[in-house]
Amino acid sequence: MPEMTVIEAVRETMRAEMRRDESIILMGEDVGNRGGVFLASDGFVDEFGEERVIDTPLAESLICGLALGAAVNGMRPVAEIQFADFVWPAINQIVGEAARVRYGTNGAKSAPMTIRIPYGGGVRGGLYHSQSIEVLFAHTPGLTVVAPATPYDAKGLLASAIRADDPVIVLEHKRTYRLIKGEVPDDDYTVPIGKAEIKRPGSDMTIVTYGLMLHYALQAAATAMELGIDVEVVDLRTLRPLDRETIIESVSRTGKVLIVQEDTPAVSISSEVAAIIGEHCFFDLDGPITRLGPPDIPPMPFSPIQEAAFMPSPEKIVSAIEKLAEL
């Protein structure tokens, strides 16, 4: 089984899907001859041609409106937003339009489109190359939002997204692109949308997380084990719809929960997960529902000391684990 980075898994999955289905086209800024700024479509123009790998003008609303129009007319577009921080001009075409196509036409039309969005910080990206933008999409009925953290899940969830008959937002954490390696089977498999995964079983408490924070949580759990605390780590993988069953089952069993996210905590994924646990696990809890996230300031400072202070880290997670374990 070959070992790949996250970005390699993304690239090979898109390549395989485009070979399998001629209705799949790519569109975005610099996706053509440049192969994408992260090289997600490196070499695609040579294999699939300029007609299927479309360098768009610098216009995010166009990219998503174009994808939507092509999707309702028989194609399966995969749009790339170069950086999550640049998605805001396209919000109307995604949240206002694409998300409501099926509902607003009473099922007569659907938009089988994928929007890949590199997101997240800890990369010296400053205020406009570091943002986490998942909440707005995860709030929106009609959208599906996935956030794979490993090469295996990147392949399986991207394949599921491309094959889905509705708009799917695929959030790829930039820091994981080349940092995270893992085994990716050659065969054609998918990871189901809406299914979280217990990435590390444990008995003393549950960490619920996603994205880059999964890897920090796994490091923290290994350290905690040396301190005698057995931590279970749940990777949400899909942010909408949330896998309520896996969250509830794990937290009910361990009795304690720490929700870790890189996004600012106010009205966020961790808020929703906390609400689910509060409603369904109340009598099984042995401590308060706890959350670890960055401070409530605009993500995130460019200067290195401040950026590090902003980002959650394995060390900060270990401290939160120890504190929760003592309660």
Partner 1 sequence: MAATANKESETSGQLSGGRLVELYRTMVLSRHLDERVWLLNRQGKAAIAASAQGHEAAQVACIEATDPKKDHYLIYYRQFTAMIALGTEPEEMLRGFLARDGDPMSAARQFPLHGAHPRVDLFNFSNVIATQLPQAAGVALADKLRGKDAVTIVFFGDGAASQGDTHEAMNFAGIHKLPVVFFCENNRYAISVPLSRQMAVESIASRAAGYGFPGVTVDGIDVVAVHEAMTAAVARARAGEGPTLVEVQVERLLPHTTDDDHTRYRTPEDIAQMLERDPIKITAEMLKRRNLITEAEDEQIHSEAKKRVNIATDTVDAEPYPDVGPMFDHVTMASQGRS
Residues 240-259 that bind partner 1 (CB under 8 A): 241
Minimum CB distance to partner 1 smaller for 149 or for 164: 164
Minimum CB distance to partner 1 smaller for 93 or for 250: 93
d(CA 148, CA 150): 6
d(CA 191, CA 153): 6
Q: Does 24 bind partner 1 (CB under 8 A)?
A: no
Q: Does 45 bind partner 1 (CB under 8 A)?
A: no
Q: Which stretch binds partner 1 (CB under 8 A): 49-57, 198-206, 307-315, 316-324?
A: 49-57
Decide: residue 191, CB within 10 A, 0-12 exposed, 13-18 middle, 19+ buried.
buried
Q: How far is the CB of 23 from partner 1 (least distance, A)?
A: 9
d(CA 302, CA 307): 6
Minimum CB distance to partner 1 smaller for 141 or for 228: 141
Is 129 one of the catalytic residues? yes
- Tell me the three state secondary structure of residue 61: helix
Cα atoms in the Cβ-side hemisphere of radius 13 Å centred on 242: 24
236's CB contacts (< 8 A; 6+ apart) are 147, 196, 208, 209, 210, 242, 243, 247, 269, 273
Q: How far is the CB of 88 from partner 1 (least distance, A)?
A: 12
Q: How far is the CB of 151 from partner 1 (least distance, A)?
A: 25
Q: Does 93 bind partner 1 (CB under 8 A)?
A: yes
- Tell me the three state secondary structure of residue 76: strand
Q: Of these, 70, 158, 171, 251, which contacts partner 1 (CB under 8 A)? A: 70
Q: Does 304 bind partner 1 (CB under 8 A)?
A: no
Q: Which stretch binds partner 1 (CB under 8 A): 57-65, 128-136, 207-215, 226-234?
A: 57-65
Q: Which stretch binds partner 1 (CB under 8 A): 5-13, 139-147, 181-189, 251-259?
A: 139-147
CA dihedral 32, 38, 39, 44 (to 10 degrees): -40
d(CA 243, CA 240): 8
Q: Of these, 9, 14, 18, 71, which contacts partner 1 (CB under 8 A)? A: 71
14's CB contacts (< 8 A; 6+ apart) are 24, 26, 40, 41, 44, 78, 158, 162
Enumerate binding residues for partner 1 (CB under 8 A). 25, 51-52, 56-57, 59, 61-62, 64-75, 77, 89, 92-93, 96-97, 100-110, 141-142, 144, 164-166, 193-194, 241
Which of the residues are catalytic? 129
